[in-house]
């Protein structure tokens, strides 16, 4: 779907969609608990549908390894791979988009150490074997999703385990979200606050009832909109949330003050698109978003696509290996065609950017927001944003 977006003023009230990160975790815990658990306030984004589909496949009985279609969801793939070894002796994981290009080396090394088959070929990842308790060494700066995957699987083993991080933990807020979810379902995992997790074995997940919070990651785009002069009331964000991306409230305030600023995004990489958008219109001031190298292996090379697409609109933005340096300009230029690169966060960034352009822009592949926020364009229109589907004339 291609959309024509026109400058507009956003005003009104929205409730962000349920947190995708929390929903993955609650659904997996509820499936492991059995009995009668409930997870309220779910939204059927493509990523959440992938996790539900794969949980159903893991729960089915039958010969051979289960086939697990993860769509484009890195969370689904990395959370469920260790669990497949515990529950079914492995699985055959498939995906679409760039999913199977994203790093899996931590699990490959783990499987090699334990004598577990790990094979990636023809767009699939196959694991087969038995996960044994013990000591697991992982880098903390590749993706916290590997840590979460082990935190779900290790409590189910028949002995105690530990996870030792060989580098500083990044995106630690997502691990906090995992630990919070485990606790709700009666599972213990201890973190020393640094690089060691201790996980007692022989545990069971107990049924629980939970509701998914509104998502700070998606709310971030409307926080950026407000910083750019719009007036959007964002409802139902929990002030006590353990979501790491709640730091958007602090970071948008820091960008709203005069003067140059450096923001470390190692713990909140998904916030880079809305932060870059806000920084791009801080006329005469510079913002540096640093420690963002992991964004190169998201749905798109997100450092490159943020820099390229905002640059197409006239932003003064330079990328390095792991950062963006943004010198604010007065406004965005319209009259261009922008590309979402099959990346939901790039599409939402460009939607908000178009409201401050001096002429319409055409956004290609705008429908990719369905990965995490299917109703984004509906909410956008309800706030006064203008978008209409591009009509293609056949002659």
- 270 given a catalytic annotation: yes
DSSP secondary structure code for residue 42 in this structure: -
- What's the residue count for the chain? 395
Query: What is the tens place of the pLDDT at every residue in 167-214?
Result: 999 889 999 999 999 999 999 999 999 999 999 999 999 999 999 999
> Residue 164 in contact with residue 135, Cβ under 8 Å?
yes
Q: Across the chain, what does the average pLDDT equal?
A: 95
Q: How confident is the model at residue 297 (pLDDT cuts 50, 70, 90)?
A: confident
- The closest of 274, 338, 345 to 309, measured between CA atoms, is 338
345: its two tokens:
């966060």
Domains of the chain (ranges, CATH numbers) = 3-17+215-389 (3.65.10.10), 20-211 (3.65.10.10)
How far is 222 from 349, CA to CA, in rounded Å?
A: 10
Query: What is the tens place of the pLDDT at every residue in 88-116?
Result: 999 999 999 999 998 899 999 999 999 99
Query: What is the tens place of the pLDDT at every residue in 75-88?
Result: 999 999 999 999 99
Cα 14–chain centre separation: 20
Annotated catalytic residue, options 47, 215, 245, 270: 270
Percentage with pLDDT > 70 across the chain: 99
The average pLDDT across 21-42 equals 95
Query: What is the tens place of the pLDDT at every residue in 265-277?
Result: 999 999 999 999 9
- The closest of 175, 260, 206 to 35, measured between CA atoms, is 206
Q: How confident is the model at residue 390 (pLDDT cuts 50, 70, 90)?
A: confident
Q: How confident is the model at residue 392 (pLDDT cuts 50, 70, 90)?
A: low
H/E stretch holding 363 reads: strand 361-364
| pLDDT for the residue 395 | 42
| pLDDT for the residue 107 | 96
How far is 155 from 162, CA to CA, in rounded Å?
A: 10
The average pLDDT across 130-148 equals 94
Give the residue with greater pLDDT, 310 vs 391: 310
């Amino acid at each position: 779907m291609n959309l024509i977006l026109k400058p507009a003023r956003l005003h009104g009230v929205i409730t962000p969609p349920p947190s995708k990160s929390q929903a993955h975790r609650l659904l997996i815990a509820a499936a492991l608990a059995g009995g009668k658990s409930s997870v309220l306030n779910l939204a059927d984004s493509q990523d959440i549908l992938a996790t539900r589909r794969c949980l159903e496949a893991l729960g089915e009985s039958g010969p051979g390894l289960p086939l697990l279609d993860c769509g484009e969801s890195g969370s689904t793939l990395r959370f469920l791979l260790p669990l497949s070894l515990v529950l079914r002796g492995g699985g055959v994981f498939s995906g679409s988009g760039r999913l199977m290009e994203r790093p899996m080396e931590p699990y490959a090394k783990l499987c090699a150490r334990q004598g577990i088959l790990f094979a990636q070929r023809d767009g699939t990842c196959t694991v087969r074997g038995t996960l044994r308790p013990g000591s697991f060494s992982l880098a903390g700066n590749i993706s916290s999703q590997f840590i979460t995957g082990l935190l779900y699987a290790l409590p189910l083993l028949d002995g105690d385990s530990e996870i030792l991080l060989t580098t500083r933990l990044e995106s630690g807020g997502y691990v906090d979200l995992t630990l919070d979810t485990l606790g709700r379902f009666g599972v213990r995992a201890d973190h020393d606050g640094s690089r060691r997790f201790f996980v007692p074995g022989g545990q069971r997940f107990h049924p629980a009832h939970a509701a998914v919070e509104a998502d700070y990651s998606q709310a971030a785009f409307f926080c950026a909109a407000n910083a750019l002069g719009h007036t959007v009331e964002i409802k139902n964000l929990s002030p006590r949330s353990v979501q790491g991306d709640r730091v958007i409230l602090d970071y948008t305030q820091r960008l709203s003050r005069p003067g140059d600023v450096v923001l470390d995004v190692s713990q909140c990489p998904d916030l880079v698109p809305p932060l870059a958008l806000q920084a791009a219109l801080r006329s005469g001031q510079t913002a540096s978003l640093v420690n963002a190298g992991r964004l190169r292996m998201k749905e798109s090379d997100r450092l490159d696509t943020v820099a390229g697409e905002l640059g197409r609109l006239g932003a003064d933005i330079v990328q390095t290996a792991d950062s963006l340096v943004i010198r604010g300009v007065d406004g965005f230029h319209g009259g261009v065609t922008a590309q979402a690169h099959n990346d939901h966060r790039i599409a939402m960034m460009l939607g908000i950017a178009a409201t401050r352009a001096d002429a319409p822009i055409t956004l290609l592949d705008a429908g990719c927001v369905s990965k995490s926020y299917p109703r984004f364009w509906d909410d956008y229109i309800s706030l006064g944003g203008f978008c209409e589907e591009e009509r293609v004339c056949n002659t």
